[in-house]
Amino acid sequence: MQKEQVIIVGAGPCGMSAALALQDQGINPLIIEKENITNSIYHYPTHQTFFSSSNRLEIGDIPFVTERKKPIRSEALAYYREVAKRRSLRVNSFEQVVDIKKEKDHFMVYTKTIKGLSRVYQAAFVIIATGYYDQPRQLEVKGEELPHVFHYFKEAHPFYREKVVIIGGKNSAVDAALELHKANADITVLYRGETYSKSVKPWILPEFTALINKQEIEMEFNATIKEITTDQVIYQVGDTKKTVDTAFVFAMTGYQPDHRFLQEIGVEIEKETGRPVFNSMTLETNVEGIYIAGVIAAGYNNNEIFIENGREHGPKIAKDIYQKVTNR
């Protein structure tokens, strides 16, 4: 068994920010990550451009300098790797936390590595910074489990001249549609909303609407998905049942936090908002010694917290932990 003062679950930008803030307080935490650092960003589309400017993505007072104002995925990955290297962050990669149990004055953290090895840690404090990108929001319709249905979009080339249906109408759906159009895919977008989502990035919406107006992309609003078959998507608009032929389906319907994991630790969840119960000044949950960092604090409203404001959680957490450590 390995003893640690602080364990951080998740090596995304917000988990890394918390680690850097703790280092500044003289505490050297261990980060445990089920894949590798900034895994969510790694799974973004290959040519993803960030909504935020590079300076808003900086952590640990380490400058993020890019040629363009808004960085792309590969630049962000390189930046966060450099931060981890420069600050010598302790990261156990490809190791998944499977259970956390609270003892009298500490926590027992149980993990399993990618090779199947089980490990046990003891920690005085635990920070949960797992995000939500690993938990796609399910359509809960028949056929969603079929092998040609995806909840993530990586790049367009494999779908050259293929019939593709995109389910959704927000940023991830629009980004995928634009990339697939460049690869000459035959695209239909089905969206349950009545009109274009207000959350779509303003610099890409004109291009998207222009392609729809020119009928280079088909789009159907008020569409409720009923079933996915091997070669069709069945949906309904009002009282009318419709079908569209397709070879591949991208269900870009968003992502959600893993409430089961939090609840098993004992963290209370607000039913309406999906927010964990926590102190907004310290980010400590209702379970003393358990903190949350990043988008997981937003509950169902994943448009509320991004890297640029989630990175601010780390200093608050570090300050509170330092005060508790010095007062013991």
Q: DSSP labels for 17-31?
A: HHHHHHHHTT---EE
Angle, helices 171-182 vs 205-213, to 10°: value is: 60
3-state secondary structure of 325: helix
- Distance CA(47)–CA(55), nearest Å, equals 20
Q: How confident is residue 69, by pLDDT bands cut at 50, 70 and 90?
A: confident
**pLDDT for 303:** 67
Supply the Cα-derived Rg of the chain in whole angstroms.
Answer: 21
Q: How confident is residue 245, by pLDDT bands cut at 50, 70 and 90?
A: very high
Sign (positive or negative) of CA dihedral 314, 320, 323, 325: negative
For residue 81, give every residue at least 6 positions away whose Cβ sits within 8 Å of its Cβ, in sequence order, or none: 37, 38
> Is the residue at 142 inside a domain?
no
- Distance CA(153)–CA(135), nearest Å, equals 14
Model pLDDT for residues 251-296, shown as the tens digit of each residue:
999 887 777 888 999 999 998 888 899 999 999 999 999 999 988 8
Residues 213 and 79 in one domain: no
Top-confidence residue, 256 or 17? 17
Please identify, among 224, 251, 278, the residue that sits at the C-terminal boundary of a domain: 251
Query: How many other β-carbons are positioned within 10 Å of the β-carbon of residue 172?
Result: 21
**pLDDT for 93:** 97
Q: What's the pTM? A: 0.89
- Distance CA(13)–CA(42), nearest Å, equals 12
Q: What is the dihedral of CA 250, 175, 44, 200, to 10 degrees?
A: -110
Specify whether the CB–CB gap between 132 and 295 falls below 8 A: yes
Strand partners, 166: 189, 250
- Domain of 76: which CATH number? 3.50.50.60
Residues 125 and 164 in one domain: no
Residues 11 and 107 in one domain: yes
Q: Domains in the chain: how many in total?
A: 2
Angle, helices 13-24 vs 313-327, to 10°: value is: 40
Please identify, among 229, 251, 273, the residue that sits at the C-terminal boundary of a domain: 251
Sign (positive or negative) of CA dihedral 285, 259, 148, 164: negative
Give the rounded percent of residues in the chain with a pLDDT score beyond 70. Answer: 98
- Distance CA(35)–CA(225), nearest Å, equals 33
> Is the residue at 191 inside a domain?
yes
Q: Which two tokens stand for residue 261?
A: 């994991």
- Distance CA(156)–CA(45), nearest Å, equals 9
Residues 17 and 73 in one domain: yes
> Is the residue at 143 inside a domain?
no
- pLDDT exceeds 70 at position 143: yes
Residues 217 and 275 in one domain: no
Do β-strands 232-237 and 223-228 pair in parallel, antiparallel, or remain unpaired? antiparallel
Residues 129 and 6 in one domain: yes
Residues 121 and 7 in one domain: yes
Please identify, among 251, 282, 315, the residue that sits at the C-terminal boundary of a domain: 251
Query: How many other β-carbons are positioned within 10 Å of the β-carbon of residue 113?
Result: 14
Q: Alpha carbon of 108 to those of 97, 121, 141, 144, 251: distances in Å?
A: 11, 6, 39, 37, 37
Q: Calculate mean pLDDT across residues 167-179.
A: 94
**pLDDT for 262:** 87
> Is the residue at 141 inside a domain?
no
Q: How confident is residue 219, by pLDDT bands cut at 50, 70 and 90?
A: very high
Specify whether the CB–CB gap between 77 and 54 falls below 8 A: no
> Is the residue at 300 inside a domain?
yes
Residues 42 and 130 in one domain: yes
> Is the residue at 24 inside a domain?
yes
Residues 116 and 67 in one domain: yes
Residues 42 and 14 in one domain: yes
Residues 65 and 174 in one domain: no
Residues 94 and 163 in one domain: no
Q: Which two tokens stand for residue 213?
A: 């107006």
Residue ranges making up the domain that contains 222: 149-251
> Is the residue at 34 inside a domain?
yes
> Is the residue at 296 inside a domain?
yes
